Chain A
Amino acid sequence: MSLYPLFARPRTVQQAAQVLESMSSGVVVIAGGQELMPHVNHGVLQPEVYVDINALADLKGIREDDGLVSIGALTVHRDTFSDPLVAEKLPLLVEAMKLIGGGRQVHNRATMGGNIVAMHPLYDVVPVLLTLEAQVEVVRGAETRRTSLKELMADPRHGLGSEAILIRVLVAPMAADAGFAYEKLKSSGGAYGSANAAVALTVADGVIASLRLVIGAVADRLVDASEALAFCIGQSWSDALASKVEHCCAGLIDQPLSDHQGDGEWRKAMAGVVAQRAMGRAVARAVAQEGR
């Protein structure tokens, strides 16, 4: 905690990594500031050093890289969801990101990296990235590492934002005939999500062939329901299956959040509702694709 923090604006990732490495504590990486600044403004967070990563060219841009869609950590939400490549290859991400709150002002400045590193259970980007089994590239000191986002999220010592820098996210394109949907339940226009579900699946011959589904905003951690929903494989969508999905997903939430968004019992139930609704829409999309 310091009244007079220091500031660094490294020009290369290497420089940035070195600055971070040289500091012991009180250092924060800042990108768009949309996450950090509310805390700074209220005195909850008083960093000793800000490391501004906005000059790092390696963290910018969206491109195809070795068959994967690479989204730089500094890409702001609006540039992500209005990008033609993302629209074509990752339509689920577009659907979810358009529902991010805060208005255009936030869409114009909040970055992909900041959203991921915030790891906020109510946010909308990570559920999709987990559904799509995204990889992330992280630099720490001299080391550049590529891991799955899932692994990174599970590691309490990932050090992102103080010791490590997220360079980019890499996502395999969704199958052209994939069914997908992002379902976000919120209490009002300005509220954060109370229950979210991201789903990507494929349908062959009218039955579900593969399925990934991640639930957010109902518990401290996001819940990957894909395995628990394995019973759906080989099934066609029906009211009976929908209620089984709903029941199964609600059952996965053992410690629901209970906050201004709504109480725990409701959140648990809503996990089921959004999962079931997302899946219903995704199957309908996939079936329509198949019919074409």
Chain B
Amino acid sequence: MSQITTEKYKDEAKRAIKNPVLQDALSNLQERLGKGAVEAYKNLPEGHRLRIEAHDIRMNAIENLDVLLKSLAENVRRNGGHVYFAEDALSAVSHCLEIARKHNVKTAVKGKSMLTEEIGLNRSLEAAGIEVVETDLGEYIVQLAGEHPSHIIAPAIHKTRKEIGKLFSEKLLIHYTDDPPALTRAARKALRDKFLAADMGISGCNLACAETGHITTVSNEGNIRMSTTLPKVHVAFMGMERVVAGLNDYDVLFRLLPRAAAAQNMATYISYIGGPCHKDQVDGPEEFHLIIIDNGRTKILADEEFREILCCIRCAACLNVCPVYRKIGGHSYGYPYCGPVGSVVTPLLVGINRAKDLCLGEMLCGACKEVCPVNIDIPKMLLGLRAKLADGDRKWNVTRASLVEKALYKTWSWLIRNRWTYDLFLRLAYFSQKFLPQKGGMIRRLPPPLHGWTGKRDILPISIETFKQRAKRINLNP
């Protein structure tokens, strides 16, 4: 399992906000990718409709997951591959270790995969004495630095050129430079040796096609193709939801994915991998394994309220427009999945109470839904999670997050029930606010639990006359 530090959300967020370098990086990312995605959608002849269609395709797949997974497994096997259904992180990792042992694997090269972050694969392989090398440039940087990715597709977004230059000069023993092409060349040179030496290639899977038994990977660097064709064994990890019925569905989804993820009309590489190398083929692995992982997804599938999040294709577009992510960065979320999608998925995977700050500490602004290539209603699910925290929930094993807050809202519901009591309350508040420090007609400090407001903001005092009183005065309802 990946390390879970969702409890530190508030502290990490505060730290991120105070880091000016990170703030710049996040703004740049959003200016480029977030706005780029919105622009890229505009070139689609189908416009907004395509996202709705994509939603239907994904939802259809999710509703028929059992059938699709069965036929995917059959077809992969028919193509000569092996399929393993892993119930949880542990069984997925153990199975991979078993394959590694069988082939006496010393070095594994990896294409980028958030799922392997989720199951903590690297740590387990390394503990078994296997050298694991990330080959996506961003992931490679993060790995060399001993950190975790802070973005789903731009994992090293939190690092500056200078930091990377320093890191490379220490770890790759090159002369310091912060010139991106030079750094990329250095990484490429170092990685080339690893590719050639590796005896196992590990990848994720963007989408699998049940009809043909292909898995598909999308990348811009070509590293996934190298990782999956050079070593003699290829192990692909796939979340059980990442399947579609047929190749036709790819058509829509792969037009949207690169636009959403990187403001590109097309990704540089889309690889269709359909099992091991056949006799008449010149390259490819001798063995192909597909590990399909549940790790809590069945439980999400069983709940109609949250099922929709399984449509996600992890494009990260929602991160690139989220006002909260823009300020707190990926590490604050304390789990590989961050941003709006993380705020829904993480609580569902690691426990809603444990990750409560993720769903409470998001806005409900709706920018994520607007940009999501599969039109997932993230705000609706955030509300769903909040409701579980508000009143507790047996099915998800949630205990009420705050008794005090519950009492406050209960009181509120009594107050608003009757205009007379409501007015009385407003009167009381009006008189008690006289004791609060004011300047220029604005209150400078509110008492707990409202004091958070006045850290950096003032607030107007309650008016001497409510609108209701004015309406009466101006004889609105004679």
Binding partners A and B? no
